[in-house]
Structure 1
Amino acid sequence: MTISSPTAEVLTIGDEILFGQITDTNTQWIGTQLTDIGIRPVRKTSVGDNKQDILNAFKEASQRANVVIVTGGLGPTRDDITKHTFCKYFGTELEINQEALALITEFFAKRGRVMTELNIQQAALPKNCTYIPNLWGTAPGMWFEKDDVIYVSLPGVPYEMKSLMEFEILPRLKNRFSTQIIQHKSIRTIGIGESFLAEKIAPWEDALPAHIKLAYLPHFGQVRLRLTGTGTDQALLDEQLQEQVSLVLPIIGEHVFGFDADELETVIGTLLVNSQATVGTAESCTGGFVANQITGVPGSSKYYEGSVVSYSNEVKMNVLGVSRDTLEAFGAVSEQTAREMAEGVRRLLNTTFAISTTGIAGPDGGTAEKPVGTVWIACATPDETFTQLLTLRNNRKINIELTSSYALNLLRKTILSSNLAEKN
């Protein structure tokens, strides 16, 4: 095919996906792999174990995509109807594929297991498909072509699907299409809302070249700006994307913490290592979530000393040294308490920096003066302590994650302002 900008749709089959009993991770992975070889995903669809619904999905997908990737419904049980549906769609019937049968027989023999009739029937494939051997399981892959559309059927088990895609399907698709390069560049921002960010960079966005598109991807206090460029020259495209990053950084630089796959906690880890500094945490409303984020980074033991989850006032006083007078005068959720928590855990753990969180995560516990979502965070250094008031939402999980994100960002800004990295 000479299509220069091929498109794809990913179709997942199974009631378990629609019922929410399993999480569909396949389409995300497939979308990334297709983009990497210049095939643009245009839609992903999930459909249950209903033959007519699947047939309709095939027909609709063929009208908007050059490639239809289908996962799921290839097992040995009666609810796995993908092969039968393909037979109906392509006007054919099943027959035992001898190559598939030999591979399945070998699969069971190596494991000392006896094949059943249901296992043998997994080798029954539509006559007009191209058989794709599955060296990692018992459900064969299948390749069909009709009216210039390629249909690929893969098992839903992620490990098997990924292996078939990597070693069989992607190489075939690359050979079939003459594609443009699709390249992404992400700018990671924090501390500014999506709408405010959009307004701030509107002139820059309006001036983007036609072959470079911008997407806003918000997530828990962060917004990822994703630039997507298309072209035929990889080096030139990389240069053009980097040029656009250079143009926008002077506008939003104070909110940028990283690029591409950078995560906030990873960036902080690098700053601490470069600064030869350490950090500890004192958490109340986040219940250890900040510590979890920090220690999720491999090698965090180089700079992270520990945490005190001071959920009760007694722990705040007896372990962190928060004053009883402070708690009685201002309450646990206050700037003063957050400050003393951060300073107390820094002394306790003998760290360079320390961050603290205290607030009302919800869904109850709020008052007129301090409604749910009222949170104070603090970051202590040997010389001073910085505090910040957060006014969040009425959702406990979201409040915990937002607080963690903002607390880590306060730590990041404090490290940068301390100039320790430059001194070392």
Structure 2
Amino acid sequence: MASSKPQRSPAEVEDIILRKILLVALADPSGSGGGGGGDPRVVYLEQTAAEILSEGKPLLLSRDCTERVLLDRLSYGGGDGPAAVERRPFFYLIGCFRRAQDEAKKVAAMKDPAVRAEIEAAIKHARKLVVSYCRIHVGHPDMFPSSPAAASPASDLLSLIFSEVSGPTDVFAGNSLAGDLKSPPGFLDEFFREADSESLEPIMGELFDKLKQSVEKVSALGNFQQPLRALLLLVGYPNCAKALVNHPHWIPTDKYILIGEGRMIEIGSILGAFLHVSALPDCKEFKSKPDVGQQCFANASTCRPADLLSSYTTIKTVMNILYDGLAEVFLTLLKNTDTREKVLEFIAEVIKKNAARSRMQVDPLSCASSGMFVNLSAVMLRLCEPFLDATASKREKIDPQYIFYNKRLDFRQVFFSYLVTFVLLNIVK
């Protein structure tokens, strides 16, 4: 009669699963029972194993020592060889999260409810640690060793966000900003939603800067949609939205020779970079690519009417996508009581710093582009839609005295500027 296979204890099962998730071995993989299974990604933590043995504990991974093992594994570095990329801290942590999800699905089939609950708790604990250390790594990239040639963790995180918000058309067009690393389901939500403002602060500064760079000098025919969807995803998390309006580039204070405040708030602010996306031409110093005029109307005199109509339709479609996305970003920030005042302050600063646009001739180096103001006007109109219905049913809810007691903007000066312009235009006529 064949002997029955010895049943593993719950502690041994927990050890096996945690080793699979963390890709570590506490026994020499070259020896018998090493636990590496020939996987080049598995790292043998010899010193950690020696410390555990010196404490008189069994050489098994458990919930109590998960953080210690994870920290030692991250301190190990990437190493060389074909598995070096996956051993980079950010890639490694994303892989751990994905493996934790896979193991959680397998554990759900366990028959013993007590053992299942214990293993599930260990996996959940490991997953939370992975996300927490991922935040630490992105916020403090020098904490764990990595290849000098590797991209910054913030760049990897942004690429992960792009992969989360990318659609089939992005991939089909061949201009997707997402990298090879795909976001595991639920990772970004857990990364941002469960973090406090203090832990997100060192992360969001660089992340928003890189997001701004991804859309700088991009025209309406460029890939602005992925960055816009990424921005919309981020402002959906209250702490991220708060970090955005507290960012140094929310309302930039930088000053450059020959560049006025009006243009500076467009090219220097995070939202300004998105509002700059346009189909309208701009001066050569701030010209966006691809050139809409060259792409759509290079041979306008010889084009068929159907081709011109197609170009107009394309421009209208992408601009409506931009307007809708920006309106949703503004609305999300305005609904959040922690960010509302900062958003209104931003709009007021854009208007004040561009008061010179009311003149007969506009200096393109001093004032923001026409494209930005067309975009901002379209966004403001979309925000007004709820109380601009044909029947004026919400007219009574509008406070006509609002413009007189707000302290952000002196409407008398703005009104006077536009009144002078109106009079001059009528004199010219």
Using the size of structure 1 for normalisation, the TM-score is 0.23
Q: Report the structure, 1 or 2, having the larger helix content.
A: 2
- Structure number with higher strand proportion: 1
